[in-house]
Amino acid sequence: MRMAVAPPSYCFVAFPPRAKDGLVVFGKNSARPRDEVQEVVYFSAADHEPESKVECTYISIDQVPRTHAIVISRPAWLWGAEMGANEHGVCIANEAINAREPAAETEALLGMDLVRLGLERGTTAKEALDVIVSLLEEHGQGGNYYEDASSCHSFQSAYLIVDREEAWVLETVGKYWAAEKITEGVKCICNQLSLTTKMDAEHPELRTYAQSQGWWTGEDEFNFSQVFSLADDHLDCCAGRESLEKQEESITVQTMINILRDKASGVCIDSESFLTTASIVSVLPQNRSSPCIHYFTGTPDPSRSIFKPFIFVDDVKLVPKAQSPCFGDDDPAKKEPRFQEKPDRRHELYKAHEWARAVIESDQEQGRMLRKTMLELEKQGLEAMEEILSNPAPLDPAEVGDLFYDCVDTEIKFFK
């Protein structure tokens, strides 16, 4: 049985002084099946009744008394998230990974569910990590990563968990895990295990388990990715790392966007089976009086998409135009056997953007002009955000509550 190919997503983080102006910069390209739609959804903070449950993609688990406000980009058919942020300036993105141990096909928590659970329950990167590993211990991970009735594509998972101070790379195999803390320089994770001998936290039985499987002698130095990777697999994810490390200037939001748009490097994927279906870039100022800003595309192919800013305030205006239609209990993803049909999950922004993609594909001159105008539109948003970050006066929540809404609206009108 051949393992499913793990989609080649890339996640990045850069810390000052490599990143500019005391900003932590985070980014992810989400590589997924080409025709899958991602939506961008905001959920406000909420209090929950004691004993209540939360229905994740495949299983229900105990809810916590309070969940934080989150904004996520997610494949429209599932509960969790590919990437996102919460109101406390925590950002999480995940990677599907193949390891020596095949991932369980039994329905449990998906890596993507754990991204959302970490955001809903963690006020710092470390707290989110603790949430993820304890849920992993309790419920395990498994189930189909794709909306596909014909076969089950299941993976192990890795996470990049970031806040204003530090980042954690968390890599998991079943319920076993290891993690490394990062506070400086740059880091890229991709669809292979990357942790080696520097581990700042690990599952208490990790090494015993590796020994019991005959993967580690107990005598050599313990190298996580050597022990747990498929024989030929632990090459480092060179494309992403090189893109990040060869940046000579300090890394800004724009640098990160450019890295995510780069098809030549392989970071922006557009292949027969996979496409970068959505992207995120977040900027987390180390100075707590400045707001964190999260840019989402909500559309495929970042080289042909507009990054649109989102800022958490108490009164965020919801953006139905970036949300997929809801099929409730009739959703084929919620009924067993699953995925017997594939409903049209395209949202308004996605549909409007399809026109732009078609123009860029088919007409060089018109396509070039269109891209130029799209980048100008994006630049206005980026410049307005720079101003917010450089302004010492506190942010007026009324001014940014409908920021993302307005950007999506403008983009749709522009495509029409």
Instruction: Just list the catalytic residues.
Output: 11
Neighbour-count burial of 273, counting CB atoms closer than 10 A to its CB (0-12 exposed, 13-18 middle, 19+ buried)? exposed
Segments in 237-363 forming alpha helices (H): 238-245, 253-261, 348-362
Pull the structure tokens for residue 161. 């968990």
Separation of alpha carbons 13 and 154, rounded Å: 26
Q: How many CB atoms lie within 10 A of CB 219?
A: 6
Phi and psi at 22, nearest 5°, equal: 65, 30
Quote the DSSP letter at residue 135: H
Q: How many contiguous H segments (helices) and E segments (strands) does the chain have?
A: 10, 18
Pull the structure tokens for residue 341. 């049909």
Helix (H) or strand (E) holding 92: strand 91-97
Beta-carbon contacts of residue 238 (< 8 Å; ≥ 6 apart): none
Separation of alpha carbons 301 and 183, rounded Å: 30
Q: Does a cis peptide bond (omega within 30 degrees of 0) precede residue 75?
A: no
Are 102 and 146 a contacting pair, CB within 8 Å? no
Beta-carbon contacts of residue 193 (< 8 Å; ≥ 6 apart): 97, 99, 158, 171, 224, 225, 228, 229, 233, 234
Quote the DSSP letter at residue 292: P
Q: Which of 235, 273, 333, 245 is nearest to 35 (CA)?
A: 273
Q: Which of 353, 220, 361, 389 is nearest to 278 (CA)?
A: 353
DSSP string of 252-277, one letter each residue: -HHHHHHHHH-TTTTSS-B-SSEEEE
Separation of alpha carbons 15 and 150, rounded Å: 43
Pull the structure tokens for residue 137. 């211990």
